[in-house]
Structure 1
Amino acid sequence: MKLSRYPSAVIALACSAGFLHADVVTLKDGKKLEGNILSETPTSIRMKYRLTPKIWDEREFQRSEIAEGGILKQKPEEVEILELRKFSPTPDLMTAEKYEQLIQDRLRPFVNRYPGTKEAAEVEEMIKVAQEEKEKVVAGGAKLEGKWLSREEAKAEALNIKAFGIAAALHEKAEAKDYSGALKEFDKLTDPRTGLPASIYYPKTVEEILGVLKSYEGQVNQMISNQPTLQKMREDSTKKLIEPDLSRLNDAIKREKENWKNTFEEERKVTRWFTPYKYDLESLKVLAKTITDEIDRLKAIDLPSITRVNAALAEVMRADAKAATDRAALPKMAEAIVAGETAAATVNPSSREFYRAFFGSYRERYTYFSQTVGAASGQMQPAAAGSAGGSSAIAGTATPTTDDKVAAALAAATAPAQPAAAPAAQPGAAAPAAMPAAQPGAYPQQAGYPQQQAGYPQQQAGYPQGYTQPQAAAPAAAAEEEGMGLMTMIYIVVAVVALVVLGAVLLKKKKK
């Protein structure tokens, strides 16, 4: 028997079944008490109710204290279904395994406990929806911001899907005031080697993380302010103790420091956002400086331009996913490349270099698709200057106006049909290049990030990571045209050998 992945939740739910019915009593002063009515008399009721979210109290109330119609009794299923309704609609980016866990651990047990109730019928419908959505996920689909993407669409949105998942985890930790955890998630999103800064969720998350940094800054500065007082209080407490209590306290302090130091050293190897220790003033100041520097860095980002560039890149990726088979996607890809490069030309130099690798890769793919799709349909599509297949605004070359560039790009993508010449009729023509990689994997380093590590191959000059530099074509064909053909040379060699053998035989006979 397979055990539930949520054993504690299921056990707690089963053990508390007798307390699940929530009674609500409204007093005449307007105060509402939620809990369980334990007993009733004609003049009073005894109730166990929540004094605070975590503290329960029990007392007797006179009916004269209760408002008219102020006693509302709920059944267990009416209370329990409130939690299940939080899964309708289901969260974004759930895996097939999570759907199965939801069905088996939460929904089906409810139906089994309360068969025949209207709440059970509601949950049965939730099970049906969860099963249907699970099948979509198994087929390669994904739910993003409440919208379902097909397998092909999910592939095109792969970068944004990954970024959305990180942004969601960041938001959850920020809501829980786990500022260090939220910042660690943000570092995943800003690492240029992953390409995630090019996602549409990166600029949105920058705004949220600035609020997190401000809150964390206040928290750490308060710890710095409190440290001298805390340190003095500890020292004063130590002076008042005698053996063996003094030794026990000193040993406890020593162990605490050693444990923090070990954790600190391990965390510093992988993150800037180490766990603060209220007694270590030096590390607190380092953390405060890191927070201040990060705030300054993020404030300097041109978010409107970055937002425009990343939105254009998203359009490029969507068109790229269809360009191999759909000629109509090529104009959209060209237009988005040009729009993105135009916007990227206005950002800071470091970001410009980051985007150059992306757009360079997609320009090469655009050219490849233009040639292959055009050849398949009997049409060739030459790249015009300033178009997506030609010069690049982001590369710092001559930049015509945006309208001119888009027009040129569209012209390149929708050029009039040209008769497709047979390959044999074009001596010396290069064979079609291998399709370039869609997303470069290595990017220029930015301040605050570790240098390139093992496992991240260095980028070839002039070519994005993942794109192999074209090799010079073998000159065999040219050599045959300029001189003697290979087969002719073989025939001559064979004839010479035959003559030598024949001459030797004749000479031998003559001597005899």
Structure 2
Amino acid sequence: MKFPFAITSLLIFGGFSATDVAPAAAVVLKDGTVLKGEFTLKDKTVLKGEVIRIQGESYVIEYQVTPSIKDLKTVAKADIVKIVTAKPDAKAFEPIAKLSPTPDFLTAEEYQQRLSAVQAFLVKFPKGSMVKEATAILETLSEERAEVSAGGRKVGGLMIKADEYRANAFDLDARVLQMKIRNAAKTGQWLTALRAFAEFDKDYQAAACYREVLPVVVGVLRTLRSQIDASLKTFDARMDKRTAELEAMAPADREASKRAIDGESAKLEKLYQLEKAASQAWVTPNVDHKQALEDDLALADSELQRLTGAAPAAGDAGKVFRHTWKVIHSDADAEEMEKSVANAEAAALPERYLKLLQEIAKTHATKSTDDDN
């Protein structure tokens, strides 16, 4: 009886583990083709495996007899009618393909992370089947990163150049934060969403998109409030149960468990104090830290009352910013520029945007005076 190669080896040499024998690597031709895949012979036999060496006009193929057993077969090249080669880079390309198109508002650093992943793929598979596609992604990412590094932004799937971004900075910055709030809410990151809204609320109440995101924020507040309220209602009972469980333990186990609990409590308290010291309105809630839960519950109630009350007046400070930007970059006289900047000041633009407009207007006014002289 003829045994498959793997079984013959086992009978002669005894048992061995997979780590005892180094697997043979598939043969790679000069053009980069890996001789691994399906080999169809003239007699219609199909061998699934790989060529581990070439012997003159024959291939030595290691193929699967069963899912767990392999054997060797020497096959004349002339007896092979078709080879469907495996593409080892195809699987590795799947996450690379998702790197482009890019989402809105990526930073230059985030672009670099994507570029590094594509570059690593091309280094690993320099002659692979997906080189053309990966190279195209690399070129697109490089172009977009260059735009972002120069001050541009990707918004609504379109790359906005630096000059256009600067002329619309207030609106675009507001939409960046609005998108961050929406994305966090969509993925259940309630704390991230509310912290982003705290920043958005401080600087962009006069933005056209402010009212658009309020329903999302209110939904997050209600969800988080419900979760915190449930945790607080069971807090005392949970603490009593934990104490009773500790008392029922053997002394050594009780001491070990108590040390672990005390250590965790100390970490929670330290985090709470650090966030309060940093004036973080929304502290990190934890079911085992009562004060953090109570603080967030009180803030959630306050915010819900404020945001579900009288709707804030619709504003469009972005339009005012754009108009002022246009005026101070035009041939307008000093009086017209001063009037335009005054309108921007009345539109409740945040200080950093006002300062930018004021400095540009001052520079243009100075240049105009110098030209007149």
How high is the TM-score relative to the length of structure 1? 0.47
- Which segments of 5 or more consecutive residues in structure 2 lack a partner in the other structure? 1-25, 27-62, 70-84, 360-373
Paired residue for 1:9? none
- What secondary structure is seen at the aligned counterpart in 2 of 1:93? coil
Report deviation, 1:242.
Answer: 4.1
Report deviation, 1:155.
Answer: 0.8
Report deviation, 1:154.
Answer: 0.7
Report deviation, 1:180.
Answer: 1.7
- Which segments of 5 or more consecutive residues in structure 1 lack a partner in the other structure? 1-17, 19-38, 48-72, 328-368, 375-431, 445-455, 458-462, 469-512
Question: Larger Cα Rg: Structure 1 or Structure 2?
Answer: 1
* Matching residue within 169, 178, 188 for 1:177: 188
RMSD: 4.0
CA distance in 1, matches of 2:147, 2:356: 33
Paired residue for 2:137? 126
Does structure 1 retain, via aligned residues, the 8 Å contact 2:104–2:155?
A: yes
* Matching residue within 275, 283, 291 for 1:274: 283
CA distance in 2, matches of 1:264, 1:190: 23
Report deviation, 1:211.
Answer: 1.9
CA distance in 2, matches of 1:437, 1:117: 61
Does structure 1 retain, via aligned residues, the 8 Å contact 2:177–2:200?
A: yes
- Structure with more contact order per residue of length (Cα contacts < 8 Å, sep ≥ 6): 2
| Change over 3 Å in CA distance of 1:138–1:242 after alignment to 2 | closer
Which amino acid letter does the alignment assign opposite residue 141 of structure 2?
Answer: A
Report deviation, 1:186.
Answer: 1.1
* Matching residue within 203, 211, 214 for 1:206: 214
Report deviation, 1:203.
Answer: 2.3
- What secondary structure is seen at the aligned counterpart in 1 of 2:285? coil
1:187 has 2:179 as partner: no
| Change over 3 Å in CA distance of 1:441–1:252 after alignment to 2 | farther
Does structure 2 retain, via aligned residues, the 8 Å contact 1:324–1:373?
A: no
Report deviation, 1:153.
Answer: 1.5
1:88 has 2:96 as partner: no
Paired residue for 2:261? 253
1:157 has 2:168 as partner: yes
CA distance in 2, matches of 1:283, 1:93: 32
CA distance in 1, matches of 2:227, 2:185: 14
Which amino acid letter does the alignment assign opposite residue 211 of structure 2?
Answer: P
CA distance in 2, matches of 1:161, 1:90: 17
- Aligned-pair identity in percent equals 20
Report deviation, 1:301.
Answer: 4.7
CA distance in 2, matches of 1:227, 1:237: 15
| Pairing of 1:25-424 with structure 2 (within 5 A) | 40-41=64-65, 45=67, 75-103=87-115, 105-191=116-202, 195-269=203-277, 270-281=279-290, 283-302=292-311, 305-306=313-314, 309-310=315-316, 313-326=317-330, 369=332, 371-372=333-334
- Deviations for 1:91-132, whole angstroms, at most 9, x for unmatched residues? 2233344334422x1112222333344421011111222222
Count the aligned residue pairs: 283
CA distance in 1, matches of 2:131, 2:181: 35
Which amino acid letter does the alignment assign opposite residue 76 of structure 1?
Answer: P
How high is the TM-score relative to the length of structure 2? 0.63
Report deviation, 1:222.
Answer: 2.0
CA distance in 2, matches of 1:142, 1:281: 42
Report deviation, 1:188.
Answer: 0.9
| Change over 3 Å in CA distance of 1:291–1:76 after alignment to 2 | farther
